[in-house]
Structure 1
Amino acid sequence: MGFTIGGIREIRSGTRRRGRSPECTAVAEFTGLWGWDVVPGARAASGVCSCGRAKCPAPGAHPLEFAAPVSAGATLDEVGRAWAEVPGAAAMLPVGRAFDVIEVAEAAGRRALVRLERMGLPLG
């Protein structure tokens, strides 16, 4: 199972509600609206990983081992409590459970998205 870092947050502006962080509301959207599990992940700044390991092999590109995943269907309040335990964590989506990720060239990916949309399939 791999992980992808959530990016829908950049698409949707103005998701700040009730004083919650943008990450918290994005995670609530992933779990509640899309039905995806979310795993708190490490972040990297200047090549240093937030996990605390001095020689982290994948800075900012892995789940935090000590953080519990947030299950699909979690409410905004449940997400708020869970994300308060890991402030500043990246939202990572475990692939291979509810959806898959396929890496293709940009031109092919754009054509595929257009075709999938025309077919009426839900796109994340």
Structure 2
Amino acid sequence: MEETIAGTQAVQTAGQIPQQRGDTLLETAVRYAEERHWEVFPGTWLVTGDGAQRCSCGDPACGAPGAHPAREDWATQATGSATVARRMWQKQPAASILLPTGRTFDAICVPETAGFHALARMERMKLTLGPVTLTPERRMQFFVLPGACAKLPDLLRKLGWSPRSLDLVALGEGAYVAAPPTRYGTRGAVQWVCRPTPANRWLPDAEELISALAYACGRDR
């Protein structure tokens, strides 16, 4: 698994999901289900041919090669069972690791620059963060309690922002995020900015983080 990105402080405690390079996708997916109780499902994967990598979906213009659902019924395929997850990745060891949102967590997605500005502000405010990822598309995703999608528009209006004026979206029911160490074609892998640890098992509510996130997105417009 990719190491936590430098520049943010991570709690080093026993029992956390290991951050070791060389871990297989199967081992990582099983740990997400077993240790974090996240639902997981296998997505597409990268296929190498003629010196190039392409998505297993077969679309040469695929927008997220190797990092999107492989089946239309992916929502029913997602499982929180480590045993079932192991069986899934044994069938296709190269499959990406995808996590459905709107179940054990939602994700608030912002541009990378705004995300790092928000993280610095949150540290000064001594806020407790959940896991945070950074995608190769330079988007940062903050894991929060389910229900963020429904709350977000009103929360932003109370802060004086029009929801449409900020590059800030919540991913909830019917959506998903790609988990480390999933790769996006040649763009790189999803990484942890704040990795999962026992200290952040209990996720923050969107209301706790939205002020810092909205402020950062507003200043970076």
Which interval holds the TM-score relative to the shorter structure?
0.5 to 0.7
SS of the residue aligned with 1:92?
Answer: strand
Structure 1 residues 48 and 57 mapped into 2: Cα distance closer, same or farther (>3 Å)? same
SS of the residue aligned with 2:88?
Answer: helix
Q: Deviations over 1:20-68 (max 9, x none)?
A: xx11111111111111111111235657211223454543341111777
| 5+ long unaligned stretches in structure 2 | 4-18, 130-198, 204-221
TM-score normalised by L of structure 1: 0.65
SS of the residue aligned with 2:122?
Answer: helix
User: Which of the two has higher C-alpha Rg?
Assistant: 2
- In angstroms, what is the RMSD of aligned CA positions? 3.1
Structure 1 residue ranges, 4+ long, deviating more than 4 angstroms after superposition: 44-47
Structure 1 residues 111 and 14 mapped into 2: Cα distance closer, same or farther (>3 Å)? same
Written as runs of structure 1 = structure 2, the 5 A alignment for 1:1-124 is 9-11=1-3, 12-13=19-20, 16=23, 22-44=24-46, 46=52, 48-56=54-62, 58-65=64-71, 69-72=77-80, 74-75=81-82, 77-104=83-110, 105=114, 106-112=116-122, 115-117=127-129, 121-122=200-201
| 5+ long unaligned stretches in structure 1 | 1-8, 17-21
| Higher relative contact order, structure no. (Cα contacts within 8 Å, ≥ 6 residues apart) | 1
Structure 1 residues 80 and 88 mapped into 2: Cα distance closer, same or farther (>3 Å)? same
Q: Identity, % of aligned pairs?
A: 29
Structure 1 residues 123 and 26 mapped into 2: Cα distance closer, same or farther (>3 Å)? farther
In structure 1, C-alpha distance between the alignment counterparts of 2:20 and 2:200, rounded to whole Å = 24
Q: Deviations over 1:70-104 (max 9, x none)?
A: 511x23x5433221112201101111211111123
Give the drift of 1:14.
6.3
Give the drift of 1:111.
3.6
- Whether the 8 Å contact between 2:79 and 2:85 is mirrored in structure 1 is no
- The structure in which a higher percent of residues are strand is 2
